Amino acid sequence: MTKLGVLCLFFFLIIQSTFGQLEYEKGYFIDNESNKTECFIFNRDWSINPVTFKYKIEEDGIVTTKDLLSVKEFGVYNESKYIRAIVKIDRSGDVASKLKLGFNPMWTDDTLFLKVIVEGKASLYYYSEALVKKFFYSIGDSTINQLVYKRYLLPEATSISDPSYQYVFMGRNKPNIGVNRDYLKQLWLNVRCPENKPVEDVDYSVQDLSKYFLEYNMCTGDEYTDYRNKSGNYSLHLKVVPGINASSLSILNSNYVNTMYDSRNVTFSTKPGFSLGIATELTLPFNRNKWALLFEPTFQYYNDEKILGGEIFTPETATIRFKSIEFPLGIKYYCYQNKGVRISFTALMIPSQSMNFNSYLSFGDDDIMDINTATNFAVGGGADYKRLSVELRYYTNRHLMLDYTSWSTNYQKLSLLLGYRIF
């Protein structure tokens, strides 16, 4: 079995042993007859509001699906809550290329699962689908209404007196886009307390609106619940990552095949080695912080020698000396498991730009060629526990001889990485 096959098997075993049990968390749902069922819900921390969800009555029970028509409320304890609501919604998006003419919202009636952000005398809800992101609100038991925010195209100017003239005809680098911010009027008329900051300072965002609604509920003295996902923030981590590598290299010169120099087409030994990386990980504020961007400058090396000989030429030594600092960029996905263990999967690109320290391939003392590397990729899987981590990572072939067109190389590496998170 190839190294890649070993790694794929490793992934498969991890997925089989963990995925079935990682994501189901204690929750509940309320059906149309107002019956509340305690269960374990498959928690996806939906970035797009769901229309269905999966659940199990027992942790090792049968998976069942509920949908928008059969459930009027569901939630994951201490994390999220969704309610079914019949609302008027304006689905105008925020992408400039898809905007349309018209200041006023284009209302349609729909039944949706709304995510509860703040619940109290004044409640705030959120809805997202594709390019549409909208907020809703209610006061007490009143109807749930959308907070109106709409970007729209201004009509083309027909004269200098037209306010849009400066955008359309004056050659300025500003789009002819207007913004309907009626949500500020709604807040001013319906959700206002002397202690709230001025409504004109409130952006149409989770951060600003949730803060505003929390301040209002505190001001009125009513009980409230904050359902914001407190883990849903950017976070930066730094990790020291030493590793043990098993590296191999074979080289081939197409001009030497079946010639007297054929012995220079060499397969070097698989050699152990060490690496040391400093990983910077930026956790992204969605999907329960399961996705992260990774930048991992790493020092690594591979050295080997092989005696080449033949009936015609005096034996010579083929030598590879490859030391470099690479700058991998990639993404990491975390799966969550009980008792503080997280399974992770990594995908990386290693750019051709690297620092090669006097790296070379030589045949004897005279024929010396500098190493110049190409881009390659890596995939890995591992586990984290508190500050410690372990990962098995496979690197695809990296061409080492870009400056020499007749040479091809096959440099591969399998690494066992241990990590310690500094912060």
Write down which residue in 230, 258, 277 finishes a domain: 230
Place of tokens 């001889």: 401
pLDDT of residue 159: 41
Quick check: 258 pLDDT over 70?
Answer: no
Dihedral sign for Cα 213, 217, 219, 220, please.
positive
> Which of residues 197 and 88 earns the better pLDDT score?
88
Quick check: 311 pLDDT over 60?
Answer: no
Quick check: 259 pLDDT over 70?
Answer: no
pLDDT of residue 363: 84
Quick check: 9 pLDDT over 80?
Answer: no
Quick check: 267 pLDDT over 70?
Answer: yes
Do 179 and 294 fall within a single domain? no
pLDDT of residue 11: 53
Does residue 206 belong to any structural domain of this protein?
yes
The CATH number assigned to the domain holding 414 equals 2.40.160
Across the range 193-218, mean pLDDT stands at: 88
Write down which residue in 230, 259, 280 finishes a domain: 230
How many angstroms separate the CA atoms of 157 and 266, rounded? 72
pLDDT of residue 221: 87
Does residue 113 belong to any structural domain of this protein?
no
Across the range 203-223, mean pLDDT stands at: 91
Question: What b/e string do you get for 61-86 counting C-beta neighbours within 10 Å, with b at 16 or more?
Answer: eeeeebebeebbbbbbeebbbbbbbe
Do 101 and 187 fall within a single domain? yes
Burial of 246 (0-12, 13-18, 19+ CB in 10 A): middle
CA distances (Å), origin 68, targets 23, 37, 50, 361: 21, 16, 8, 65
pLDDT, one tens digit per residue, over 340-396 is 788 999 999 999 988 988 899 888 877 888 999 999 999 999 999 889 999 999 999
Nearest CA-CA partner of 300 in 352, 353, 345, 357:
357
Token duo for residue 169:
């005809």
Do 213 and 304 fall within a single domain? no
CA 12 to chain centre: 21
Instruction: Specify the number of domains making up the chain.
Output: 2
Read off the pLDDT band of 156 (50, 70, 90): low
> Which of residues 186 and 170 earns the better pLDDT score?
186
Answer whether 413's CB lies under 8 Å from 328's CB.
no
Quick check: 170 pLDDT over 50?
Answer: no
Do 199 and 256 fall within a single domain? no
pLDDT of residue 282: 94
Do 199 and 308 fall within a single domain? no
Do 316 and 192 fall within a single domain? no
Answer whether 354's CB lies under 8 Å from 339's CB.
no
Dihedral sign for Cα 93, 95, 97, 101, please.
positive
Which of these ranges, 115-124, 137-146, 367-376, has the smallest mean pLDDT? 367-376
Residue 386, C-beta contacts closer than 8 angstroms, at least 6 positions apart: 340
- Per the structure, the complete domain to which residue 247 belongs is given by 235-421
Token duo for residue 146:
């959308």
Residue 260: CB atoms within 10 Å: 11
How many angstroms separate the CA atoms of 401 and 403, rounded? 5
Do 217 and 305 fall within a single domain? no
pLDDT, one tens digit per residue, over 51-97 is 999 999 998 899 999 999 999 999 998 888 999 999 999 998 888 77
Tell if the pTM clears 0.75, that is, is over it.
no
Read off the pLDDT band of 168 (50, 70, 90): very low
Which of these ranges, 44-58, 202-216, 302-316, 398-412, has the smallest mean pLDDT? 302-316
Give 305-310 contacts, CB < 8 A, sequence gap 24+. Answer: 306/266, 306/268, 306/269, 308/263, 308/264, 308/266, 308/363, 309/263, 310/260, 310/263
| DSSP alpha helix (H) spans, 154-205 | 165-168, 182-190
> Which of residues 233 and 297 earns the better pLDDT score?
297
Does residue 31 belong to any structural domain of this protein?
no
Answer whether 415's CB lies under 8 Å from 243's CB.
yes
Do 185 and 261 fall within a single domain? no
pLDDT of residue 175: 58
Does residue 320 belong to any structural domain of this protein?
yes
Residue 177 is inside which H or E element, if any? strand 177-180
Provide the residue type at 360 as one letter: Y
Do 246 and 164 fall within a single domain? no
Question: What b/e string do you get for 11-28 counting C-beta neighbours within 10 Å, with b at 16 or more?
Answer: beebeeebeeebbbbebb
Do 250 and 396 fall within a single domain? yes
pLDDT of residue 97: 76
pLDDT of residue 403: 84
How many angstroms separate the CA atoms of 126 and 118, rounded? 10
Across the range 99-113, mean pLDDT stands at: 92
Do 346 and 290 fall within a single domain? yes
Do 133 and 168 fall within a single domain? yes
Does residue 357 belong to any structural domain of this protein?
yes
Across the range 406-411, mean pLDDT stands at: 88
pLDDT, one tens digit per residue, over 29-47 is 999 999 999 999 988 778 8
Place of tokens 């976070």: 235
Does residue 226 belong to any structural domain of this protein?
yes
